[in-house]
Amino acid sequence: MARRKKIYEGKAKILYEGPEPGTLVQYFKDDATAFNAQKKEVVDGKGVLNNRLSEFFMTGLNNIGVPTHFIKRLNMREQLVRSCEIIPLEVVVRNVAAGSLSKRLGIEEGTVLTRPIVEYYYKDDKLGDPMVTEEHIAAFGWASQQDMDDILSLALRVNDFMSGVMMAVGIRLVDFKIEIGRLYDGDYQRLIVADEISPDSCRLWDAESGQKLDKDVFRRDLGDLADAYTEVARRLGVMPKNSQPITKPTLIN
């Protein structure tokens, strides 16, 4: 097989040069990291599950007219995506208090917010992705006012879509993080949802029991991460109902 050019390797994914100009191949690794990579583990099957789940969410968004980088899934671990310039912001939308919001403001986890809260974090591992305001974003030229209007609108549309899809399968979308990319078309640019949407970047709680079905299972040592993600995939019909969690191949005598 011809060697591919690696463009970028992150904590959970690798980007390779794509088959055509303007495309990339996004490879989902099994590596799980938390607390800025201070906690690390390999979770067999996580990459396969996130590839399928991100495909599911991005396809749904494309279908309702929310532009994303996703073109098609190529195989178990890879998808073809549009190459774009990532805006150095993590855009977080919250429906229910949890995680850093609860910690920072002392609001009890599980408190339903009266309106979605959108927050911005500057993407910089060395700084621990600090929270920033629109003032910082404008002053440092990370995005224009028009970009910010478009980002807010994209974030809220993703929230409406994802909340509905998850509630239909008995899961509460507590919060999530997305990344936004710029796509250039001649003199014009368009903003699109990039990176991934998966249980790695969302908080998902069972609507009845409150059971966590997202990366907090790993962050807080609450059980088997692959089992939690498999449950999300099963409920969404992304995996057959009776399939076992994806693990390494085992030899059968």
Task: Give the tokens for residue 208.
Answer: 């009845």
C-alpha–C-alpha distance, residues 34 and 52, integer Å = 21
Q: Which is nearer to ligand 5GP, 172 or 203 (CB)?
A: 203
99 counts as binding ligand 5GP under rule CB under 6 A: yes
> Is 179 near ligand 5GP (CB under 6 A)?
no
Closest approach of ligand 5GP to the CB of residue 134, in Å: 17
Nearest residue (CB) to ligand 5GP, 54 versus 201: 201
Binding mask 208-227 for ligand 5GP (x = CB under 6 A): -------x------------
Q: Is 177 in the site for ligand 5GP (CB under 6 A)?
A: yes
- What distance in Å separates the CA atoms of residue 139 and residue 71, rounded to the nearest whole number? 34
Binding segment for ligand 5GP among 59-67, 94-102, 138-146, 245-253 (CB under 6 A)? 94-102
Query: Closer CB to ligand 5GP, residue 19 or residue 110?
Result: 110
**175 touching ligand 5GP, by CB under 6 A:** yes
Nearest residue (CB) to ligand 5GP, 63 versus 199? 199
Q: 18 is written with which tokens?
A: 């794509």
Of the residues 56, 176, 218, 229, which one makes contact with ligand 5GP according to CB under 6 A: 176
Q: Give 63: exposed, middle or buried? Use CB within 10 Å, 0-12, 13-18, 19+.
A: exposed
Instruction: Name which position in 69, 203, 212, 235 contacts ligand 5GP (CB under 6 A).
Output: 203
Of 38-46, 147-155, 194-202, 226-234, which part binds ligand 5GP (CB under 6 A)?
Answer: 194-202
The residue at minimum Cβ distance from ligand 5GP is 99
Mask for 7-26, x = binds ligand 5GP (CB under 6 A): --------------------
Nearer to ligand 5GP among residue 43 and residue 202 (C-beta)? 202
Residues that bind ligand 5GP (CB under 6 A): 90, 92, 98-101, 129, 175-177, 200-203, 215
